Amino acid sequence: MAQVEGNDMRAEYDFTGGVRGKHYRAMQAGYTITVHKADGTTVVKDVMPKEGAVILEPDIRTYFPDSESVNRALRCLIPLLPKKYKVKEKKT
């Protein structure tokens, strides 16, 4: 399996005609997966983002590629929020 140097993408993958974020809006609203099995049966599964899931726009994801980076940035913004929006932290 060939690798492109300096990239984790395999050389055989070609996304030349790809469009970033093409299915973004549909994914936010949920989607249906249909699996056609070899025995002729079909399995249909409705998929909804988990409650509390946050979906980042593609241009934002460039700066915040993972949960840790998003949480770190948001924690820096919390002190700037007006007091009426601040939520008391739950003690565990």
For residue 91, the model assigns a pLDDT of 54
Dihedral of CA 25/22/4/12: which sign? positive
**What's the total number of domains in the chain?**
1
- Reduced to 3 DSSP states, what percent helix, strand and coil does the chain have, rounded to the nearest 5? 30, 15, 55
Q: Which residues does 28 contact at the CB level (< 8 Å), separation at least 6?
A: 49, 55
Domain that residue 47 falls in = 24-85
User: For residue 63, what pLDDT band results from cuts at 50, 70 and 90?
Assistant: very high
Q: Is 49 inside any structural domain?
A: yes
Q: Is 80 inside any structural domain?
A: yes
Longest dimension (CA), the chain: 60
User: For residue 1, what pLDDT band results from cuts at 50, 70 and 90?
Assistant: very low
